[in-house]
Chains A and B, each alone.
Chain A
Amino acid sequence: MTLSDFLPKRRNQTAISILLTLLATISLGVIATARAEPVNAVWLVAAALSVHALGYRIYSRFIATRVLALNPARITPAQAHNDGLDYVPTNRAVLFGHHFAAIAGAGPLVGPVLAAQMGYLPGTLWILGGVVFAGSVQDFLVLVFSVRRDGRSLGDMIRSEMGALAGTVASVGVLMIMMILLAVLALIVVKALAHSPWGVFTVAATLPIAVLMGCYCRFFRPHGVLEISGVGVALLLGAIFLGGQVAASPYWAPVFTLSAPTLCWLLIGYGFIASVLPVWLLLAPRDYLSTFLKIGTIAALAVGILVVHPVLHMPPITRFIDGSGPVFAGKIFPFLFITIACGAVSGFHALVSSGTTPKLLASEPDARLIGYGAMLTESFVAIMALIAASVIDPGAYFAMNAPAALIGHTATDAARTISGWGFAITPDTLNGLAHDVGEQTILSRAGGAPTLAVGMAHILSSVIGGRALMAFWYHFAILFEALFILTTVDAGTRVARFMIQDALGALAPALRRTDSWPANVLATAIAVGGWGFFLVQGVNDPLGGINTLWPLFGIANQMLAAIALIFCTVVLFRMKRGRYAWIAGLPAAWLSLCTLTAGFQKLFSPDIKIGFLTHAQTYAASRDSGTLLAPATSIADMTRIITNDRIDAAMIGLFMAVVITMILCGIAAIRAARANPSLSIREVVHDLPLLRPHT
């Protein structure tokens, strides 16, 4: 049984497409022309679903049949190397679940929340347009190209189709984006948990629960992963209730009240320990918890939005499209397009699509549902995050996301400043909201997670529990995000460790051995030091860190997408399908333009809020004349700020160099492919399933 069994067959396909087009047009019309009165979120859902359906029915079919000519008779790696373990022909509905669980993470939940400062319309249009023409196309093409190359990784494929230079540059790019990604994710957790005893208690409770699950799977019932995960989720819900008691207790609350710098160092230490411990003890069981909680919560949010059909209080467009917004600085172009990365297009998916999924694909045409379809689902998650950020009072949204340097430290100051921006709010409303969600304050909790949690609590408490359970749902949402972010941090640190060991192995072969403790500890320390550096910098940043780090992450992620799409363009030319190369070439050009423009502005903009070098120069000039600039309280602070600016600028410069090198390598490869009269792809073709003995 597959999804298609539930869909009507042989109906008039054209009529369905026309109806979908009408629905998409009307819904987009409603949300785009709303001015006087708030719009219902259902219109946003309708617009998203109909655009996704049209993209899937028309564009992905065009790519599957005309561009790639997917062939059900062609042997996939899963058939050729079937071993029941790594290579298994898998039912496409089952594989869809696996692939979606691997690509869905915190990215599509955070980016849209930050982008909501410009109103919900710009974000919606980019999420929908981006996914249909760029994000899903990238995931789909990379999956198919990997399937046709025996399931090889993106880095390997770039090396064989574009040359050693392009391969090495792309690998360096991947390692850099990992460091920034892990730092920005860890920073989101720090921002959500700082001074929140309830949150710290529930997240800390995941450690003993995970160890319990790990021991159960190791020593009692190794395959009982589903039953023990059920127990784990039940224990977590219990921990959330208990967390409320802890936060209310005069004795325990101070124990679990931690400052941002303390949390930052705890996370760095934890990340180091978690990634050198045996995986069965902590990493694997927490991975089970976070995966199931993630899928369950996404489903619950979708049901909640449909049942509650909340009204969007955020205007469709705010004045902050001019670049003066408090959440992130910079105009709609290019900064909207790098702020919302995952959900519209995410370079990271190219790594997943060339990871385990191509080794499990039963038949080539299934790649359309799994590559294109799963990314559409992720885009829907991004739309839900945008809805959750837009259903809360816009004044409260800005209070939660603007840094303290702009709105001050008290509800009174914040309400005055934000009302001055045109989003009327009273101090009582802000205090009331903090009380409802069981926190002392909701001010300046940038990073997306708390905003999303308030929006989710708003929606879910309307279904179950009302205001009495609002605090429970808020901490449920915080826990769910913290849990899967921490799992990504551990798993990412391990991946970075292996990549670093691989690179160090070129210098000293002994360092490559993954079973060697000194090599293991050294590479882990380098990996943790890499993201830890940016985390410390973010935590100490007077503008809240997210302001600085999220654009770096967005540029890096979109840079990776540009690399993947340039690779796809090259392959299409080498396949002699150059007349269709625009399907990858146009999004590659757009993402290159966005990342290079954003990078250029982050480097050289004369606006001190955007340009790293201008910021560094201003502070350096002030330091030399002996005056301190807020928030620095000493000359040492000034020096630290200047150093951070210059390191960030160097990172941006490196990202830009990577993009430019890849563009040049891509152009050279395309010219060579066009000059070559025959096919030049390096595909692997299996005539018959190979029967290989196990080794």
Chain B
Amino acid sequence: MICHCFGHTLDITALSQKIGQTARLMVGVPDYDTYVQHMQNTHPTQTPMTRPAFFANRQAARFAGGGMRCC
């Protein structure tokens, strides 16, 4: 979806994807599609984790030792 406003071209779909990615990364979950893309490009012989496994892996990593947020 493309929106033309104030002389700018705004790609609403891309923008909402970015907002979704930002929101997920805020709670420690990076982009799954980027991960799958990376696995296909650099490790084509390995099977990437499924979406649920990827989520569980990232959730565990966020609170394993680190996970420090500020006051």
Contacts and interface: CB of A to CB of B under 8 A. Distances in A.
A579 interface: no
A693 B70 contact: no
Interface size class of A (residues with CB under 8 A): 35 or more
A222 B56 contact: yes
B60 A222 contact: no
Nearest to B38: A84
B25 A98 contact: yes
A280 interface: yes
Contacts of B23: 97, 226, 292
Interface string A73-114: 000000000111110101101110110011111110000000
Interface string B17-44: 0101111111111111011111100110
A485 to B, nearest CB: 9
Nearest to A96: B22
Contacts of B55: 217, 222-223, 225
B69 A352 contact: yes
B26 A84 contact: no
A292 B23 CA distance: 8
Contacts of A349: 70
Interface centre among B32, B57, B69, B71 (most CB of A within 10 A): B71
Contacts of B26: 97-98, 101, 291-292, 295
A491 B63 contact: yes
A284 B59 contact: yes
Given A1-B15, A88-B30, A93-B22, A185 B71 contact: yes
Interface centre among B18, B52, B62, B68 (most CB of A within 10 A): B68
Interface of A is mostly: helix
A569 interface: no
A251 interface: no
A94 B51 contact: no
B22 A97 contact: yes
Interface in A102-157: 102-107
Given A84-B30, A288-B27, A488 B35 contact: no
Contacts of A352: 68-70
Interface of B: 8, 11, 14-15, 18, 20-32, 34-39, 42-43, 46, 51-52, 54-71
Given A185-B71, A284-B63, 9 more contacts: A6-B8, A84-B37, A222-B51, A223-B55, A279-B63, A346-B70, A352-B70, A360-B30, A488-B71
23 contacts: A1-B14, A6-B8, A82-B38, A84-B39, A85-B57, A85-B61, A88-B30, A90-B30, A93-B22, A95-B25, A98-B22, A101-B26, A103-B70, A105-B70, A222-B56, A223-B52, A225-B55, A351-B68, A352-B68, A488-B70, A494-B67, A514-B65, A693-B43
